[in-house]
Amino acid sequence: MPLRIITYPHPTLRRKALPLRRVDAELRGMVAEMFELMYKHKGCGLAATQVDLPYRLFIVNESGDPGLKDEEFVILNPVLSKHKGSEEDEEGCLSLPGLYAQVRRPAQVSLEAFDLAGKPIRLEAKGRFARVLQHENDHLDGVLFIDRLSPTQLLASKDQIAEFETEFAQRRERGEIPGDAQIAARIAELEAQRS
């Protein structure tokens, strides 16, 4: 079954992802599919939880340009540290399409992770790149950018968020989205395959 981007309030978006223990051809195929989806939806980052996968994995191309392959990163089991400074900038999310808001985040972060070949990655990031890394890493902990909004910003976004909730409920009623128990069983099966 092809991967697709799930939208708020899908329960997988609130689930804490598990560390990956092994990389195989199937996972590499999933990563390739994630890049296709990210570019198709004009994104610059995509976390595994956004495609209904329970793994600590995200992809990034800060430029969002599929032609710039040297800007692509596959990040497995990330750990962010050395948060410095603070800056506010606009964020959006492929799982909350069309919703944008100002989000305050550290201006600089350090990242340690692994790539698809199992090689360690160490990055010092600042500005937009640091923001993208933090946004995607949040997804792996079940945190969405709307969780980081001020009460005033959240109030301003309330109607759009309610629309996502209504649309999700309607799609579930039509049988397009499985129930929570089915989703949890599928996630547990996926986790067991890679533990």
Active site residues: 136
CB 87 within 8 A of CB 126: no
CB 76 within 8 A of CB 56: yes
Query: Residue 27: which residues within 8 A CB-CB, separation 6 or more?
Result: 20, 55, 57, 116, 194
